[in-house]
Amino acid sequence: MRADSRTMEQPLFIGSEIYRRSTYGSKHPLAIPRVSTVIDLCRALGWLPPERYRTSPRAKPSALTLFHTPEYIGALQEAERRQQVSEAIRARHALGTISNPVFPEMYRRPATAAGGSMLGAELIAKGGVVYNPGGGTHHGFPDRAGGFCYLNDPALAIRTLLNKGLSRIAYVDIDAHHCDGVEAAFHGSDAVRMISVHEARRWPFTGMLEDNAGGAAFNLPVPRGLNDDEFALILDEMILPAVEAHRPEAIVLQCGADAVAEDPLSRLALSNNVHWRTVAALRSLTPRLLVLGGGGYNPWSVARLWSGVWATLSGHEIPEHLPPEGQSILRTLTWRRAAGRTPPEPWLTSLRDAPRMGLIRDEIRTDVQKLADRM
């Protein structure tokens, strides 16, 4: 198969077994399986035949210098080799912290996610759709880790698209956290338009409404309890018009799974219907789409949401009730949090959440209008 030599007619899923056998440590929010469950679930449902799956390459250190400093890449490799860091390296590169711990695959795993996103960018440059759920690490900086992100694969993917000659790219980020690393990468860019919706007053505390990154960004911080109706307004009146007005040749979507109600690291209250609708809407706006993962710290929420993203991209109907092969994969998951002891039945038997409708708060209407006025 030579999907890279012509326009891809069908989307590709980029994955790797490294996500199954590596962990950030038993007490870290990323102790849970995520990409491996999505792969297992999509295969069990018959949605992921071998010809649609690509094993993610690991990016070479030299390729990572498209965004990261050689010094930092060297420090990250050295930390993996030695399985410890000095105080100086910790202070300088934020490696070996509680958020960004030393673990056995701490270079190879993020380099695999980065390699997947860069391959995805190369593939879609000719047209097509690629999904790399292991990507989406939007907090990485050129010379330091941040928020569980050692490298910044979205920035690397966007730079790859620019190097391929594309000149107008839209980056949409619907993770619960602001994409501080990506925003810093393309501050002041005419080519890249960044649109982020994230929880207000939450780490990393960047991405204020007034922050436009030198004209390159639209930031919408949203209040706790954000519901599906509120998100629908944001999608229709802010995200989609901001993307369309940029006339992008390609769209990169960071589809973090931590803005749903059951996520332990945010206080937003969306259902996964919102994410799937965003994926479908963006797909209709572009001949080139790269969809990445991101946050997501409830193993059932992540598996269900990201499997539904693949169904949406690949044209499979999401069943109301999962067949036994699918349910058995969700039943094998464990989680050290209290909710993990007795997961609610819908987490085990369905992919689609019940919609979480509600009133649209005035503050959201006002802020959406402020951003719309800037377009």
Active site residues: 139
Of 189, 197, 199, which is closest to residue 166 (Cα–Cα)? 189
- Single-letter residue type at 264: P
- Closest CB 294 distance from Zn ion, rounded Å: 6
Q: Which is nearer to Zn ion, 154 or 256 (CB)?
A: 256
Q: Between 204 and 287, name the residue whose CB sits nearer to Zn ion.
A: 204
Residue closest to Zn ion when measured from CB atoms: 295
> Which CB atom, from 97 or from 349, has the smaller least distance to Zn ion?
97
- Give the nearest distance from C-beta 154 to Zn ion in angstroms: 12
CB of 291: closest distance to Zn ion in angstroms? 16
Judged by beta carbon, residue 162 or residue 255, the one nearer Zn ion is 255
Q: What is the nearest approach in angstroms of Zn ion to the Cβ of residue 178? A: 9
Q: How far is the CB of 258 from Zn ion (least distance, A)?
A: 4
How far apart, in whole angstroms, are the C-alpha atoms of residue 112 and residue 121? 14
| Residue whose tokens read 């699918």 | 326
- Residues making contact with Zn ion (CB under 5 A): 175-177, 256, 258, 295
Strand order across the 250-254 sheet: 53-55, 12-15, 128-132, 288-292, 250-254, 169-173, 192-199, 217-222
282, 203 contact by CB (below 8 A): no
Which of 47/150 has CB closer to Zn ion? 150
CA distance 307 to 292: 12
Q: Could you give the C-alpha distances from 118 to 59, 170, 302, in angstroms and in order?
A: 8, 16, 23
CB of 118 closer than 8 Å to CB of 161: no
Quote the crossing angle between the two packed helices 324-331 and 35-44, to the nearest 10°: 160
Nearer to Zn ion, 138 or 304 (CB): 138
Least distance (Å) from Zn ion to the CB of residue 287? Answer: 28
Before 204, cis peptide (omega within 30)?
yes
8 Å CB contact between 165 and 48: no
Q: Which is nearer to Zn ion, 175 or 262 (CB)?
A: 175
Name the phi and psi angles at 104, rounded to 5. Answer: -60, -30
Q: Which two tokens stand for residue 190?
A: 């005419």
Asked if residue 96 lies in contact with residue 145, where contact means CB atoms within 8 angstroms, the answer is no
H-only helix segments in 150-214: 153-163, 180-185
Residue 79 CB contacts under 8 Å (≥ 6 apart), including other chains: 85, 89, 95, 96, 102, 106, 107
Alpha carbon distance 241, 233 (integer Å)? 11
Task: Read off the tokens for 270.
Answer: 């969306």
